[in-house]
Structure 1
Amino acid sequence: MANETTSNCVICWVHGMVQGVGFRYSTQREAQRLGLTGYARNMDDGSVEVVACGDNEKVEQLITWLKAGGPRSARVEKVLTEPHQPGREWTNFGIRY
């Protein structure tokens, strides 16, 4: 079944100069463009947490975008990812505060 798509969720922590530079909003736009659901939020340690759910290929595309640095104003030093099983399903990709 080559046309069958598999969906999953990942949680990512993006470290570097990623707060105060529009990173969450750019991530939201990219995730929406890819048709993903989830959220982005600033963490107390200066990183941004991203939860992305959807088609495996699209999730991987978002991770690649995050690792490539996201918006031009950001400076990504590292991106940590792991599989995630959220306690709920999202209907869109939002920004959490």
Structure 2
Amino acid sequence: MQVCYVAYVSGIVQGVGFRYYTQQQAIKLGVTGYAYNMDDGRVEVLACGEQQQVERLLAWLKVGPKSARVERVLVEPRAVKDIVGFRIRY
């Protein structure tokens, strides 16, 4: 089943390669979407794909790369979108 979620990741998640590592995980899992640095210091991640793979990425976001310190992840469902690839948005 195809699903889409947006996750808002709080903590020390900017300037530590968070978007890059998220992109690598998403590509490995076959998840599409994007990672974006928000003005308030959070990272917004849109994750679309097979439910099990998206859930794996969302679980990874709660830990993140070693360089980051994730404090909180808020996840909201979104309408399923047909997105190609996973990109870093600027």
Normalising by the residue count of structure 2, what TM-score does the alignment of the two structures yield?
A: 0.96
Question: Once superposed, what is the RMSD of the aligned Cα atoms?
Answer: 0.9
**Structure 1 stretches of at least 4 aligned residues deviating more than 3 Å after TM superposition:** none
Normalising by the residue count of structure 1, what TM-score does the alignment of the two structures yield?
A: 0.90
Q: Distance in 2 between matches of 1:36 and 1:65?
A: 13
User: Unpaired runs of 5+ in structure 2?
Assistant: none
User: Unpaired runs of 5+ in structure 1?
Assistant: 1-5
SS at match of 1:14: strand
Among all aligned residue pairs of Structure 1 and Structure 2, give the percentage whose two residues are the same amino acid.
58
Structure number having the greater strand percentage: 2
Pair member with larger Rg = 1
Q: How much does 1:85 deviate? A: 1.7
Deviations along 1:15-59, whole A, 9 cap, x unmatched?
000000000000000000000100000000000000000000000
SS at match of 1:9: strand
Aligned residues: 90
